[in-house]
Amino acid sequence: MTAIADPTAAEIQTVVAARWLRDAASVFIGVGRPSTAAILARAVHNPELVLVYESGTIGAKPVRVPLSIGDGELAETADFVVSVPEMFNYWIGAGRVDVAFLGAAQVDRYANLNSTVIGDYDHPRTRLPGAGGAPEIAASCGEVVVIVPHGPRTFVERLDFCTTVGYGDGPDGPRSRQRLGFRGAGPTAVITDLGVLEPDPDTKELVLTRVHAGVTAEQVSEATGWELKVADELATTERPSEQELAVLRELVSR
């Protein structure tokens, strides 16, 4: 019997994201690692989990990781398929989806997200794809989990552009979720390849609550562009089980 190779940082990130869906009824996902995590969650933790893709496929049951949110397998295995206006008005906007996984190019301390431009809007250094569904998804889904790589170019003191509101300027500011009239709870976790950040219950500022095995709080602080707060009781991620790793690797190899 061959020993299973140690998990990579990316695999740990995916496994932790999948565990976040243990008790969720439904999850909204884009492509890439979030999609892999959600498919893993259905396979290992939560077989009843409803996968919702932006393309309109609700209850999709992919056995491979799709390249695009509109791959044929998603439509063919879905419980039902809806138009884009129906997706955003009846399902996302009305708050019928429990958890949303979002990515971004930049994240700030209040888990606001930039996926529009790096640099000045009119003369961008890098033009990113833009908002897609994110602003309304983050406003209306039950909770948001942000999945991004951890580095100082991603975790910034100040966003170049605010595409999507997490906690705005905190609980009491003019851009708080409450003032903006958002109905979802907002970001409950930022899961990276180094650890997990969660909002402080009072200030809503992201706090490092968990590091993955072999990672130190100092390392995470260095990879963060603001003075990162660290929880008094910093947890360490439970190592991916053999089952989690085996299913994940099988899934990615298909």
Partner 1 sequence: MAELMSLRDAVAAVVSDGDSIALEGFTHLIPFAAGHELLRQGRRELELIRMTPDLLYDQLIGMGAARRLVFSYGGNPGVGSLHRFRDAIEHDWPRAIEIEEHSHAGMANRYVAGAAKLPFAVMRGYVGTDLIERTQVAPITCPFSGEQLVAVPALAPDVAIIHAQEADRHGNVQLWGIPGVQKEAVLAAKRSLVTVERIVEQLEPRPGAIVLPGWVIDAVAQAPGGSRPSYSLGITERDNDFYRFWDELSRDRDAFVAWMNEHVLMEPAHR
Cα distance from N-terminal residue to C-terminal residue, the chain: 22
- Residues in the interface with partner 1 (CB under 8 A) total 54
Q: Does 135 bind partner 1 (CB under 8 A)?
A: yes
Give Cβ neighbours of residue 244 (< 8 Å, ≥ 6 apart): 15, 18, 40, 44
54 as an active site residue: the answer is yes
Compute CA distances 82 → 26, 31, 72, 73, whole Å: 16, 18, 14, 15
Which CB atom, from 65 or from 228, has the smaller least distance to partner 1? Answer: 65
With binding defined as CB under 8 A, does residue 82 bind partner 1?
yes
30 half-sphere exposure, CB direction, 13 A CA radius: 15
Interface segment toward partner 1; rule CB under 8 A; list 131-139, 150-158, 188-196, 234-242: 131-139
Point out the catalytic residue in the list 54, 136, 205, 244: 54
Which is it for strands 229-236 and 206-211: parallel, antiparallel or unpaired? parallel
Residue 123 token pair: 């003369």
Sign of CA dihedral 122, 125, 127, 133: negative
**Could you please report the per-residue DSSP string of 212-230?**
-TT--HHHHHHTSSS--EE
Q: Which of 20, 28, 155, 161 lies at the binding interface for partner 1 (CB under 8 A)?
A: 161
Of all helices (H) and strands (E), which one includes residue 182? none
- Which CB atom, from 54 or from 244, has the smaller least distance to partner 1? 54
Q: Of 162, 190, 206, 248, which lies in the binding site for partner 1, with binding defined by CB under 8 A?
A: 162
- Our finding on whether 196 is near partner 1 (CB under 8 A) is no
Per-residue contact string for residues 215-254; x = within reach of partner 1 by CB under 8 A = ----------------------------------------
- 237, 12 Cβ separation under 8 angstroms: yes
131 binds partner 1, rule: CB under 8 A: yes
Binders of partner 1 among 38-57, rule CB under 8 A? 54-57
Kindly list the catalytic residues. 54
* Contacting residues toward partner 1, per CB under 8 A: 31-32, 54-57, 66-72, 74-76, 80-85, 87-89, 92-93, 116, 121, 124-136, 139-140, 161-165, 168, 175, 180-182
